[in-house]
Amino acid sequence: MKNKLSKISFLFNPKVISGIKKASLILLLLMPAISLFSQSRKEILLTDGWKFFKGANEIAYRKDFSDKTWKSVSVPHDWAIEGPFDKEIDKQMVAIEQNGESKPSEKTGRTGALPYIGEAWYRNTFRLPASAKDKRIILQFDGAMSEPKVYLNGIKVGEWNYGYNYFYIDVTDQILTGESNILAVHLKNRPKSSRWYPGAGLYRNVHIIIKEKQSIEQWGVSITTPIVSEAFAKVNIKTNITTAGAKLVTEILDRAGKVVAVDTAKTFFGTQADQNIKIQNPGLWSPETPNLYTAVSRLYNGNNLLDEVTTRFGVREISYLAGTGFSLNGKVRKFKGVCLHHDLGPLGTAINIAALRRQLMILKDMGCDAIRSSHNMPSLEQLELCDELGFMFLAETFDEWAKPKVENGYHLFFDTDAEKDIVNLIKATKNHPSIVMWSAGNEVPDQFGAEGVKRAKWLQEIFHREDPTRPVTVGMDQVKATMASGFGALLDIPGLNYRVHLYDEAYKAFPQGMLLGSETASTVSSRGIYKFPVLKGKNKTYDDFQSSSYDFECCDWSNLPDDDFVMQDDKPWVIGEFVWTGFDYLGEPTPYDESWPSRSSYFGMCDLAGIPKDRYYLYRSRWNKDKPTLHMLPHWNWEGREGQITPVFVYTSYDSAELFLNGKSLGIQKKNNSSPQNRYRLMWTDVKYEPGTLKIVAYDKNGTAVAEETKTTAGKPYRIVLDADRKELTADGKDISFITASVVDKNGNPCPTTTQRLNFEVKGAGAFKAVCNGDATSLEMFDKPTMKLFSGKLVILVQSGKIPGDIILKVKGSSLKEGELTLTSQK
């Protein structure tokens, strides 16, 4: 069996953006007439002009209904993120079987303690000109939480159950031209429908697509690269059109916009054109070189242009072989990945490109090269950014199949909706070069027994039918059960969630000749918080509801990062890992899911504000091969601990280092194989605290000092320091700068323990958007211009307006010298 599977190779490519480029998207304002100009297809982002109402209303879909008293909002929109936090919201009495619990207990912050439950309505009034008559009109929703029912001019035109999926509705017969249209969307979030904060509302984009009746189908372009070499690439493009008889011409442009190939389709199978186009000396896509091409598909009736679709793609080859593992463009590599939930911290689930880009840039600096969407379908914007920035992607579908984890979860829709949900996922995203694997599910209870095996086979066959170029995995936590039933054996790639102690046994039991760490570590920590004595422990809790940042604490079912590092380094058949998680997220506050006020996770390498924790640098020391890492912990402000043991850890890409306290050497440590921790960390476990300066000096292989870092005991807080991730914004009303505020003493030393309250004021061509300090126990709301520091830091979000100009942020705190920062917003 292994010999047979070892010959299986999955080859692929790319990403589809139907319609015109983003730069030419037209935003709908309240009651505008939309000009079609002379182009064949228009894609309109329906952002402004929305009215919102939280609650049930039986007649809100009617065209004559008055929504004047409703709140005006822009979309994407998350109705619940403004709170308030409340322990009674979605309080669940449940035993979490995935965590090994057998008795139900009260879970108060499991879904973030935010008011996402209930019904809501969105309405938008717009007008198409008379010139849109006889055109085909499509409404596309990139995600709506949840169970959206869509009405146009008082008529129900469509619905979809899965809040994470993309869907579109042909409204050609219902749309009015030359007069106003009323679009109404009803949403319903059930209690006990999620294991984390799912968000609420039209949290992803809504599009109107206007095109000719004879045109290219929505998501109708499929691009693969079945032959890839440095000399040339074969690009296969299959294009589905609505009716036969048209001429299809395809141009391929490189990243500079130069035309590198042109082809007129000669082969049609009914309404599908099949083109094979040669690219000479292609620029290959990879995380290190994210080269992208654009295919421009033009459909003609004679010389009359009927439709034009641009599709961005990459030229790349992926291969999964027994004995070799995963290869990209012929080079063996292992996934250095993280799992991400879909919320964006203080922004909730409402999609924002600036926030997504910031997340990815932080991960890029860590050396991360892969993302797993957990445990649902990713946003189109996230995939576009992964294409651009160079991240491989494991796109996941469901957290439940037919057997439930929560009372009102996806199991309610699995039998009727699973196939169409997978089909839409693949059709909408198949052309992204970043996607290198599909996941059919996560820790589904169906892992036990013959029924689960049949479901796994059924789902995998749907993926293979729709996309034969990528393999399928499932995140399995019941590894023993999947060995016994055959569940794990049938998957293209066996994905193991944790269970490092079973890796060797699973490798021998499964025929594929490889394993993936589909979810690893689940180590918990709170940024800047350290607990003594420093001991390894599982499910450790403290009176302040925080976890220690010495990175020695994990959950009952999980392990420390170093245990996974050993498997990644020593087992060639382990093809990589996806760490739980890259960033903290709202909900699931393990190990404090029975403790109020904990309301967000502790798993992240970065906190909810996006500030790196110590653990970030442990992974960076292994993953980032371009820049060295030298990071020392803990901080050195320990009034009251004088003379007590205060261990010092160093996360570094160097092999050895020497520690000094107030000028006195405490010895040289060198990485060794005596334990997983000693192999990947430098640890001075018997340091006695005394105020002053702690210094670490790193040495190269020749014993030469090459880098150093110091931590100095700070005095009283004196002034506020502001550091922006970006100082130049786009004046589009959406762009965001993330400004980290911290406090230093008179000598500029950081004050890592201060929890002072700061207040924010924004003037000029922008506005205060949100704030977050990364404290999982904070009940302060994100949308108020005030918050306490946590471990000496917080992050302020400033959003651009639509008029260019300067934006001035002022930050004040009692007895502190205020901080001021100027941003520039321009078109």
CA 162 to chain centroid: 18
- What single string gives the DSSP state of each residue in 466-513? H-TTS-EEEEES-HHHHHHHSHHHHSSEEEEES-GGGHHHHHHHSSSS
pLDDT value at 253 more than 80? yes
Q: Phi then psi for 72, rounded to 5 degrees?
A: -85, 130
Fold entry, domain 638-712? Immunoglobulin-like (2.60.40)
Residues 6+ apart with CB under 8 A from 66: none
Report percent pLDDT > 90 for the chain: 92
- What CATH number has the domain spanning 42-80+116-211? 2.60.120.260
As a whole number, mean pLDDT of residues 14-33 equals 32
Greatest Cα pair distance, the chain, in angstroms, is 87
Out of 21-30, 490-499, 601-610, 625-634, pick the least confident.
21-30
pLDDT digits (tens, 9 = 90+) for 495-509: 999 999 999 999 999
- Average pLDDT of the chain is 94
pLDDT value at 780 more than 70? yes
pLDDT value at 21 more than 60? no
Report the distance separating Cα 721 and Cα 809, nearest Å: 12
Is residue 43 flagged as an active site residue?
no
Decide: helix, strand or coil at residue 87: coil
- What CATH number has the domain spanning 2-17+215-313? 2.60.40.10
CATH class of 719-826: mainly beta
- What helix, strand, coil percent values describe the chain, rounded to 5? 15, 40, 45
Query: CB of 685 within 8 A of CB of 534?
Result: yes
Residue 472: its pLDDT value, please? 98
DSSP state, residue 213: S
Residue 27: its pLDDT value, please? 30
Q: Which of 386, 426, 528 is nearest to 165 (CA)?
A: 426
Residue 672: its pLDDT value, please? 96
pLDDT digits (tens, 9 = 90+) for 225-234: 999 999 999 9
Residue 691: its pLDDT value, please? 98
Answer yes or no: same fold for 638-712 and 719-826: yes
Residue 99: its pLDDT value, please? 67
Is residue 443 flagged as an active site residue?
yes
pLDDT digits (tens, 9 = 90+) for 459-492: 999 999 999 999 999 999 999 999 999 999 999 9
As a whole number, mean pLDDT of residues 537-553 equals 97
Report percent pLDDT > 70 for the chain: 95
80 burial via Cβ count (<10 Å: 0-12, 13-18, 19+): buried
User: In the structure encoding, which two tokens stand for residue 240, read together?
Assistant: 């589905």
Report the distance separating Cα 237 and Cα 224, nearest Å: 7
Residue 600: its pLDDT value, please? 98
Q: Which of 669, 679, 675 is nearest to 622 (CA)?
A: 679
| Banded pLDDT at 239 (limits 50, 70, 90) | very high
Residue 39: its pLDDT value, please? 58
Report the distance separating Cα 58 and Cα 54, nearest Å: 13
pLDDT digits (tens, 9 = 90+) for 254-309: 999 999 999 999 989 999 999 999 999 999 999 999 999 999 999 999 999 999 99
As a whole number, mean pLDDT of residues 790-816 equals 98
As a whole number, mean pLDDT of residues 585-591 equals 97
The region, left, alpha or beta by phi > 0 then psi within -120 to 50, assigned to residue 486 is left
Residue 237: its pLDDT value, please? 98
| Banded pLDDT at 28 (limits 50, 70, 90) | very low
Domain boundaries, the chain: 2-17+215-313, 42-80+116-211, 334-623, 638-712, 719-826
Q: Which of 644, 661, 641, 652 is nearest to 712 (CA)?
A: 661
Residue 56: its pLDDT value, please? 96
Residue 97: its pLDDT value, please? 73
Looking at per-residue pLDDT, the higher value among 408 and 95 belongs to: 408
- Find the catalytic residue in 466, 519, 553, 658: 519
- Find the catalytic residue in 43, 443, 577, 658: 443
Architecture of domain 334-623: Alpha-Beta Barrel (3.20)
